[in-house]
Amino acid sequence: MLRLVAIVLLCGTAFGQRNATEAEIKAKDLTVLPTGAGLPAGHGNAVRGKDLFKEKCAVCHNDHGEGREGQYVALVGGIGSLKTGKPVRTVGSYWPYATTIFDYVRRAMPYDHPRSLSADDVYSACAYILFLNGIITETQEMNEKTLPQVKMPNRDGFVPDARPDVKSKR
């Protein structure tokens, strides 16, 4: 085993590998918490987001975020449906924090070019999605301070799991 560790270490050095610096780690850290911690500087609103959405998002989610049945999920609608026999889970009806929209869009969208949007683009896309769901106004600016303050319709719909941790016996 010690021999294997030595070989791995030597190969890493031989191929020029090194530990990442703190600056490199920070540049790759895209984590955004519900509190807004981790949101980058930037801003956008639904007016700007509408054109961006049409260009980058509508091919999958349609012009107004209604999705494409059987292909891509709807981003709008369903508010108030979660306690019915046919719940519609969308960004507007199900997601508890607006910051999660930013986190997801920045990491994974557009589907064919993830991580290609600027912070301003992501704030604008989030604003448009929130606007389509009737959660904010069309001109309301979203940024690192205002986005965490958005109260999503289902924010209080999730409850913490109160069960104690259970250790398995082996």
Which are the contacts of 142, defined by CB distance < 8 A and separation ≥ 6? 43, 44, 45, 98, 123, 124, 126, 127, 130, 136, 150
The per-residue pLDDT for range 105-127, each reduced to its tens digit, is: 999 999 999 999 999 999 999 99
pLDDT at 34 over 60: yes
pLDDT tens-digit map of 43-55: 999 999 999 999 9
Q: Is residue 7 part of a domain?
A: no
d(CA 168, CA 145) in angstroms, rounded, equals 43
Report how far residue 117's alpha carbon sits from residue 119's, in angstroms, rounded to the nearest whole number.
7
Question: CATH number, domain at 65?
Answer: 1.10.760.10
Which amino acid does the sequence have at 150?
Answer: V
The token duo for 118 is 């600027």
pTM: 0.81
pLDDT at 5 over 70: no
Domain range for 137? 41-153
* Domain membership flag for residue 36: no
How many residues are there in the chain?
A: 170
Is residue 17 in some structural domain? no
* Cα-based angle 102, 151, 123 (whole degrees, multiple of 5): 25
Q: Is the pLDDT of residue 169 over 70?
A: no
Question: C-alpha dihedral over 25, 107, 115, 91, to 10 degrees?
Answer: -150
Distances in whole angstroms, Cα of residue 67 to Cα of each of 56, 60, 86, 108, 109: 14, 7, 17, 17, 15
Retrieve residue 10's tokens.
Answer: 């030597």
Domain annotation covers residue 14: no
Q: Model confidence over 69-84: pLDDT tens digits?
A: 889 999 999 999 999 9
Note whether residue 77 is domain-resident: yes
Domain count, the chain: 1
Q: Please determine, for residue 7, whether its predicted confidence score (pLDDT) is greater than 80.
A: no
Asked whether the predicted pLDDT for residue 32 surpasses 70, the reply is yes
Q: Find the mean pLDDT for residues 18-23.
A: 89
